[in-house]
Amino acid sequence: MQLVVARIGRAHGIKGEVTVEVRTDEPELRLAPGAVLATDPSSAGPLTIATGRVHSGRLLLRFEGVADRTAAEALRNTLLIAEIDPDEVPEDPEEFYDHQLIDLDVVTRDGTTVGRIAEVSHLPYQDLLIVKRPDGAEVMIPFVSEIVPEIDLEEQRAVIDPPPGLLDPAQAEIASSREET
């Protein structure tokens, strides 16, 4: 199974280093020197990590065969993809791989069916669960413990505690009007 672990950013310096947007909770494992990663687009890879270091809070990588700024800049926006065992799970029980979450049933605390997780979206500061409702509509659920307090992989479900308006915008208007009075 393939797992997106990073996205290449801009070139750094003149010796082929690039900044990377890390998309794994295990960068020391997935982005270590010697790691061979597939790429999207596939024509950019595979890439083998030659060196890695942190500079001003950002991870910088250099790949074998990428020796200058021009070659590094050509890799910008390339996704780095690691091959993992589908049965592998993160060490932290509060962490999940995207493939573990896709297709989970989503229900509220009282058992009301919301839909099914169709996708996990990774934004720079927020992960979102994209949930397909039974009527075909999609709703975006912030993947934070206050809103998604339980993931039960054995039962194949995610339990949510949505704030007013998350599932039904009309509820937000009602809650807002109550606060004003």
pLDDT by residue (tens digit) across 12-25? Answer: 999 999 999 888 77
The answer to whether residue 92 is domain-embedded is no
Instruction: Between 158 and 123, name the one with better pLDDT.
Output: 158
Same domain, 156 and 122: yes
CATH number at residue 22: 2.40.30.60
Domain final residue pick, 83, 111, 139: 83
What's the whole-number mean pLDDT along residues 161-173?
A: 75
pLDDT by residue (tens digit) across 127-137? Answer: 899 999 999 99
Same domain, 76 and 135: no
Contact present, 20 and 6 (Cβ < 8 Å): yes
Same domain, 53 and 125: no
Q: Which of 85-89, 149-153, 172-176 has the lowest mean pLDDT?
A: 172-176
Spatial CA neighbour of 141 closest among 125, 170, 119: 119
Mean confidence (pLDDT) of the chain: 86
Q: Which of 28-32, 47-51, 87-91, 170-174 has the lowest mean pLDDT?
A: 170-174
- Which H or E run includes 179? helix 169-180
159: which 2 tokens?
Answer: 């339990």
The pLDDT value recorded for residue 142 is: 93
The answer to whether residue 34 is domain-embedded is yes
Same domain, 24 and 64: yes
Same domain, 168 and 125: yes
Percent of the chain predicted with pLDDT > 70: 87
What's the whole-number mean pLDDT along residues 170-179?
A: 49
Contact present, 178 and 143 (Cβ < 8 Å): no
- CA dist 9 and 110 (Å) reads 43
Contact present, 42 and 57 (Cβ < 8 Å): no
Contact present, 94 and 78 (Cβ < 8 Å): no
142 preceded by a cis bond (ω within 30 of 0):
no
Based on the structure, what is the number of domains in the chain? 2
Domain residues for 43? 2-83
CA–centroid distance for 106 within its chain: 18
Contact present, 31 and 61 (Cβ < 8 Å): yes
pLDDT by residue (tens digit) across 38-92? Answer: 999 989 889 999 999 998 888 999 999 999 999 999 999 999 998 877 666 666 7
The pLDDT value recorded for residue 174 is: 47
What's the whole-number mean pLDDT along residues 105-122?
A: 92
Same domain, 59 and 131: no
Which residue is associated with the tokens 């500079």? 55
The pLDDT value recorded for residue 181 is: 52
The answer to whether residue 181 is domain-embedded is no
77: which 2 tokens?
Answer: 């926006």
